[in-house]
Structure 1
């Protein structure tokens, strides 16, 4: 990807048939409890806004637009949007039941 193309985006990408896209939006002030199963096998891109990741220890890390994340098997408590705009996460993972090549 060239520098003139901007940050990685799964929303603008054409995905292979064996991959699936899940979009998660968090309005300003929203909190999403972390469930490891929701993020298993997924590469996540922050498409818009910022997300604060809160660990079980209480430490926090903020990630923003264009950041690429692996959220599986982490000691997280919540994902929180402390920003003024809706945050959008795009998660791409392998399909549980792959689409046959001739479909």
Structure 2
């Protein structure tokens, strides 16, 4: 029965200050769905490409060859990672 197989989820919230960047670690975000909750983030790829996402965007960080997550805005950028709980 579905009730017997309930899955637990883990959530982690990250805030990036205006103008700051956070280095990307591929393993840290594997299997994680990302929701931008406030502000705007810019994904910066190792090859030089950049893409911006505002509050409400749902995305993932794996397989994109990212170098960092940057906040190009004037307010804190907040994103939440949601994944299956381990253990």
Task: Tell me the TM-score normalised to structure 2 length.
Answer: 0.89
Kindly state the Cα deviation for residue 17 of structure 1 after the two structures are TM-superposed: 6.0
More relative contact order, 1 or 2 (CA 8 Å, 6+ apart): 2
* Structure 1: gaps spanning 5 or more residues: 1-15, 98-103
Aligned length: 82
Q: Separation in 2 of the partners of 1:90 and 1:68?
A: 10
1:19 counterpart residue number: 9
Segments ≥4 residues shifted beyond 2 Å: none
* Structure 2: gaps spanning 5 or more residues: 1-5
Q: Separation in 2 of the partners of 1:29 and 1:95?
A: 32
Kindly state the Cα deviation for residue 74 of structure 1 after the two structures are TM-superposed: 1.8
Q: Separation in 1 of the partners of 2:83 and 2:70?
A: 22
1:39 counterpart residue number: 29
Task: Tell me the TM-score normalised to structure 1 length.
Answer: 0.75
Q: Separation in 2 of the partners of 1:76 and 1:55?
A: 4
Q: Which of the two has greater strand per residue?
A: 2
Q: Separation in 2 of the partners of 1:62 and 1:38?
A: 21
Query: RMSD over aligned Cα, in angstroms?
Result: 1.2
